[in-house]
Amino acid sequence: MIRFILMNGIISFLQENQANILDDGFIECAVYFEQGETKLTFDEHKKILLFTKDEPVFNEFGKKMMDLGFTDVTQPGFSQTTELHNFEYGFYHWHYRPADSLASSEL
Which conformational region is residue 99 in: left (phi greater than 0), alpha (psi within -120 to 50 degrees), or beta?
A: alpha
pTM recorded for the entire structure: 0.62
Cα separations (Å) of 59 from 52, 53, 62, 91? 10, 11, 5, 33
Instruction: Write the pLDDT tens digit of every residue in 21-40.
Output: 888 888 888 888 888 999 98
3-class SS of residue 105: coil
Please, which residues have CB within 8 angstroms of residue 62's CB and are 6 or more apart in sequence? 72
Fill in the DSSP letter of residue 3.
Answer: H
Instruction: Write the pLDDT tens digit of every residue in 60-104.
Output: 888 888 787 776 656 665 555 445 555 555 667 777 888 888 887
Please, which residues have CB within 8 angstroms of residue 104's CB and are 6 or more apart in sequence? 26
CA max distance for the chain = 48
**Is the C-alpha dihedral spanning 37, 43, 47, 48 positive or negative?**
positive
